[in-house]
Structure 1
Amino acid sequence: MATVAGAVLAVSPLGVAPPAGAVVGGQEARPHQYPFMAGLVDVLERRVMCGGALIGDRYVLTAAHCLTGSYSSPSRVGVLLGDHDLTTGSDSPHAVLAPPARFFPHPEYDPETQRNDIALVELAAPVALNRDVRPIGLPTPAAPGGSEPARVEAPGWGTTSFGGRTSDVLRTVALTTMSNSACASRGMAQVVPSQICTYAPGRDTCQYDSGGPLVRTLRGRPYVVGLVSYGKECATDTPAVNTRVRSYLSWIERTAGRLPRAS
């Protein structure tokens, strides 16, 4: 997760705390259950250091804090798509490590507060779409997920406990969103309307889950309601704070063009 002044947060490889990490209290996802899931890979150390969501054949949404420091250069990052088990390629015939061309962190991203913690990764070439690699829809302005509580799913390869080991297989955890007023009363006083809080007893995202999607399903179609941003360690009594994607639809369209939305 990202670092917020005054908070003891999960620390990412960037030197900043990534948002809630690699799924605590969840379970292994079904192979290719989330065909839009992306992993941002440190190509030198050959490991997934953040998550993301494919939203077209050329763009991935992630957290801005994932693309800072050593990872501000596209040459240091690969975008893993269509994979499940990181230790083998036999389960993922369509897995691809796509090179990025450009990064577009939100111009008003604030690393002190983690406000506007959202970024777009433009791939060097359109990725081939198939059963294992498919984009997720963006929410409409009136889509469910703006009113809390709501159930969301958070997939990731992050750690399964604070300071623990990352997962070789994609895992998922069911969480519940809450109102920002309830979130603030439970220790996250800096939360703003463009952020969305999640909480479930004993369950959370964790380190290296930053930038991964919070997924809701509307009439059988998944869409991305949030992006993992920051939290106080993992699976504590304090909610995690995520970027509310619906607040950034205009910015996404100005940057990447008009993309499909859930309807």
Structure 2
Amino acid sequence: MAAVAGAVMAVCPLGIAPPANAVVGGQEARPHQYPFMVGLVDLAERRVMCGGALVGDRYVLTAAHCLTGSYSDTARVGVLLGDHDLTRGDDSPNAVLAAPASFLPHPDYDPATQRDDIALVRLAEPVVFGRDVRPVALPARYAHGTFDHTQVEAPGWGATSFGGRTSDVLRTVVLGTMSNPTCGARGMSQVTAAQLCTYAPGRDTCQYDSGGPLVHTIAGTPYLVGLVSYGKGCATDSPAVNTRVWSYLSWIGRTAGRLPRAS
């Protein structure tokens, strides 16, 4: 999460330096509980620097602010799929480190305000779907698109405290969403209709969780309702602000075309 800011390979065998303990106030996820979870890897520093969500066999959604500066170079970033414990290989036999072909940030992304903080990563080769690597559903069938006053799950390998160490295992936290007027009244006055606020006492996403998914499960199917964007510290009294995926369905469709689904 950007701190108004805000990510390894198939893994030890490739010499990845393990980070260390992600999300604040959460718990370790079950191995491969989130088969759509992506880690964006800083190949130079051998660490996960942002999260993302697999939405098709060649596309990942993440936050645009994750792909700025030196990370705008596709040669600097790897796309980790199907992993759980970044320090081991035996727990994730289907983990893949994919190469990005291009980064496609939203054309209106504003780094000063974090508005339109969304980007697509196009992979160099399509990934093969399986038990541990599967795309998440987009919330296209839910016309209201708000998901206000809803519980969402936020997985990530990020920090467990602001400025703290990151996690070697994927962790998850349950957060509540709120209406934008409530969010604005609680100190996030710049929130827009295309953003979604989350809050839970003592629980939050944190640094290096940026771009990671917020999912809400309906009838056993997880839907991608948000992407981690920014907040004021981690697990403070202020809500966190996330990108509302439903607001960008048309842009995703124009940019990525028809997305293949797992059967």
Assess same fold via TM > 0.5. Answer: yes
Q: Residues of 2 paired with 1:165 and 1:235: CA distance? A: 15
% identical aligned pairs: 77
Q: How many residues align?
A: 247
Aligned equivalents of 1:97, 1:207: Cα separation in 2: 22
Is contact 2:176–2:198 with CA below 8 Å preserved after alignment? Answer: yes
Is this contact kept in 2: 1:2–1:111, CA < 8 A?
no
Give runs of aligned pairs for residues 137-152 of structure 1, distance below 5 A: 137-140=137-140, 142=142, 146-152=146-152
Q: How high is the TM-score relative to the length of structure 2?
A: 0.91
The CA deviation at 1:258 is 2.1
2:2 aligned counterpart, secondary structure: coil
Which digits, 9 at most, give the CA deviation of each residue in 1:123-169, with x for residues without a partner?
00001111000000100263576142000000000000001100000
Aligned to 2:160: 160
Relative to structure 1, the CA distance from residue 145 to residue 70 in structure 2 (aligned partners, 3 Å threshold; closer, same or farther) is same
Q: Supply the distance in 1 between the matched residues of 2:227 and 2:6 (Cα, whole angstroms).
A: 17
Equivalents in 1 of 2:108, 2:256: separation in Å? 17
Q: Which residue of 2 aligns with 1:15?
A: none
Counterpart of 1:176 in structure 2 is 176
How many angstroms apart in 1 are the aligned matches of 2:213 and 2:105? Answer: 16
Match of 1:127 in 2: 127
Match of 2:185 in 1: 185
Residue of structure 2 in register with 1:47 after alignment? 47
1:95 correspondence with 2:56: no
Using the TM superposition, give the Cα deviation of residue 11 of structure 1 relative to its aligned residue in structure 2, in angstroms. 5.8
The structural deviation recorded for 1:2 is: 3.0
2:6, 2:229 within 8 Å by CA — same for their partners in 1?
Answer: no
- What is the distance in 1 between the residues matched to 2:59 and 2:169? 23
Deviates more, 1:218-227 or 1:200-209: 218-227
Q: Work out whether 1:202 is the aligned partner of 2:202.
A: yes
Q: Which moved more, 1:133-142 or 1:249-258?
A: 133-142
State the AA in 2 paired with 1:33.
Q
State the Cα deviation string for residues 59-79 of structure 1 (Å, max 9, x = none).
Answer: 000000000001001100000
- Separation (CA, whole Å) in 2 of partners of 1:157 and 1:186: 27
Within the alignment, does 1:85 sit opposite 2:85 as a pair?
yes
Q: How far apart, in 2, do the equivalents of 1:233 and 1:151 lie?
A: 21
Give the CA deviation at 1:259: 2.8
After TM superposition, list the pairs within 5 Å mapping 1:61-80 onto structure 2.
Answer: 61-80=61-80
2:115 is aligned with what amino acid? R
Q: List per-residue Cα deviations over 1:2-36 (Å, max 9, x = no partner).
A: 354xxxxx569xxxxxxxxx300000000000000
Q: Sort the Cα spacing of 1:145 and 1:151 in 2 relative to 1 into closer, same or farther, 3 A.
A: farther
The 3 A distance-change label for structure 1 pair 90 and 106 is same
Change (3 A) 1:224 1:67: same
Deviation at 1:85? 0.0
| Aligned match of 1:246 | 246
Contact 1:176 1:199 in 2 (8 A): yes
Q: Distance in 2 between matches of 1:188 and 1:206?
A: 17
Q: Distance in 2 between matches of 1:148 and 1:134?
A: 26
Measure, in 2, the Cα distance between the counterparts of 1:54 and 1:209. Answer: 15
The whole-number CA distance in structure 1 between the counterparts of 2:119 and 2:191 is 19
Root mean square deviation, CA, Å: 1.5
Counterpart of 1:105, as a letter, is P
Of stretches 235-244 and 132-141 in structure 1, the one that deviates more from structure 2 is: 132-141
With normalisation by structure 1, the TM-score equals 0.91
Residue identity opposite 2:47 in structure 1? R
**Offset of residue 95 of structure 1:** 0.2
In structure 1, the residue matched to 2:10 is none
Instruction: Specify the code of the residue in structure 2 equivalent to 1:51.
Output: G
3-state DSSP of counterpart to 1:181: helix
SS of alignment partner, residue 225 of structure 2: strand
